[in-house]
Amino acid sequence: MEQVPFDSATSTLVLVNPAANRGRAQRVGDAITNVLVERGVAAKKVFPSTISATRELVKEAIDREVRVVAVGGDGLVHHVVQEIAETSTALGIVPAGTGNDFASALRLPTSVDEMATAATGDSTAIDVLKMTDAAGAVRYATTIATAGFSAAVNVRAERLRWPRGPSKYTVATLMEATHLPRYQVEMRIDGAERSCACLLVAIANTALFGGGMRIAPDASPTSGSAEVVLIHDTSALNLLRVLPKTFSGAHVAHPAVEILRGKEIEIQMVPVNAHGSCDLRSDGEAVGSLPQTITVVPGGLQIAGATVADVSN
């Protein structure tokens, strides 16, 4: 769809991913924009066709001091955040994708009127994860950066045509568990070294990933630190017993699960008895291979409609 340029009156840019959640995001985007216009907000709705177009629009919004509202799932939010992180520009989030883990962690509303109010309301400073690879390239994550089994599940889920919705992660988990690789992890957490064999690592700014799995139940994006969740080497049967408990957070009591905390995590991870490197995923998106350094940036995002009380309880 052709982009509509900004004009001098525009105060709010509504970015819609029309493909998200089988077109639901487009319908929600239309409804949100209509509500904002009825309320007298000078909102401009656009449907960027590519990631680069999305980022260019966000750059322009920042330059013009225009609020950005992202209508879609975690993927769209992730790409918007690559430009808006560590700026003073407020981001409104309208959860309308297949995965809405960041919005869920912030307890943002889901009705149209309430979403419109939240997206244009006062903003709160929220932590963001800053990932730097060996070449110095920087990416940001809002929810969780993960590698190992969890990243493989994410890739598998993306390839599935059925089922749709969060249940595809369950199917992908069962498929990946049939050939369970082990990894050797070398980490430095706030200067303290940690080495172990594991199945996955999740570095968490928020509690949720994978369509509602509460992998790090005590993680808070206002704490100034991240939770580092390790699932140690165990059998596929044990893993399949542990993973359903992540939806309630009860998995933390399992002896294969270890949770650490830190502000700066240097991580390298390689498959055991295999060649090659491990890829890192965040917010469901590919963010390069390991090693990387993941740093918590306190208050690195301004999120509209979120409050400290909402995200710290």
Domain boundaries, given as residue ranges, for the chain: 12-121, 133-298
Biggest CA pair distance of the chain: 62
Which residue(s) pair with 145 in the sheet? 203, 282
DSSP-derived secondary structure letter, 3: P
pTM of the model: 0.91
105, 208 contact by CB (below 8 A): yes
pLDDT at 3: 57
| pLDDT at 195 > cutoff 80 | yes
**CA–CA distance, 185 with 196 (Å, rounded to integer):** 5
Q: What is the pLDDT of residues 13-26, one digit of tens each?
A: 999 987 777 778 89
Q: What is the pLDDT of residues 197-242, one digit of tens each?
A: 999 999 999 998 877 889 999 999 999 999 999 999 999 889 888 8
278 versus 173: the higher-pLDDT residue is 278
Residue with tokens 């172990």: 196
CATH class of 12-121: alpha beta
Domain 133-298 fold: Tumour Suppressor Smad4 (2.60.200)
Average pLDDT over the chain reads: 90
